[in-house]
Amino acid sequence: MWRCEQFKEELPQYVADGEPASPYYRALRAHLASCPSCQEELQRLRWVEEALRCWPKVPAPSALLERVMQAIVEQPHSVRMQERWQPLTWEVWVPALAVLAGLMIAVFSLPPHLLNAPVAVPGEEASQLWARDLASWESWLEGHREIVGTVWNGVFAALAVFGIGFALASWDALGREWWKEVERYFADLGNQVRLFFRRIH
């Protein structure tokens, strides 16, 4: 009887597999040949299998498509764009901001002779104005060289330490995900640009 129950456990899979003639089921087949109870169970499982194979799917109601599309369209355009836009995670924008700030500081820390105003061409008032502004800015910097230098060096050092520390600490943890995020960002950015131009035209 115990053996019979063991075979009955195997029967559903045997039927579902299409009652294969494989050696795996040899003992089961031998048992079936001499056990009326298991034969009955086999018949029932065959019928269950057949009924399940033609179990009808319930199709979606005809009005459902319109309902779904209505919900999609009803979202305000700005919300839709906002939702579709994948905001950057802090793991990306924080170091990006640090790099940007570092670059700005590096540019403003260039020796003064590299920031000399271009020679003003007569008649080009805009560039003259710009040169004058630059000159006054330079003279202000000259006057406050020590304070400005201290503050900028401090900020630069803090950002550098933070950037390097952050990169070292999180590199292993972020690993590929970080790059995927960057890749995703540029892909999305490309998409947005393409969508923008498509709308314009």
Residues at the interface with other proteins (CB under 8 A): 8-9, 11-13, 15-16, 40-41, 44-45, 47-49, 51-61, 64-65, 67-69, 71-73, 80, 83-86, 184, 188, 191, 194-195
Minimum gap (Å) between residue 30 Cβ and other proteins: 21
CA gap 16, 46 in Å, rounded: 8
Minimum gap (Å) between residue 100 Cβ and other proteins: 25
Compare residues 15 and 28 and give the one whose CB is closer to other proteins. 15
Minimum gap (Å) between residue 63 Cβ and other proteins: 9
Determine contact, residues 49/16, Cβ cutoff 8 Å.
Answer: yes
CA gap 11, 38 in Å, rounded: 8
Compare residues 138 and 181 and give the one whose CB is closer to other proteins. 181
Show the tokens assigned to 58: 């319930």
Compare residues 58 and 114 and give the one whose CB is closer to other proteins. 58
Question: What's the DSSP call for residue 116?
Answer: P
Minimum gap (Å) between residue 3 Cβ and other proteins: 17
Compare residues 8 and 29 and give the one whose CB is closer to other proteins. 8
CA gap 18, 155 in Å, rounded: 74
For every residue of 79-98, which 3-state class applies, written as one string?
Answer: HHHHHHCCCCCHHHHHHHHH
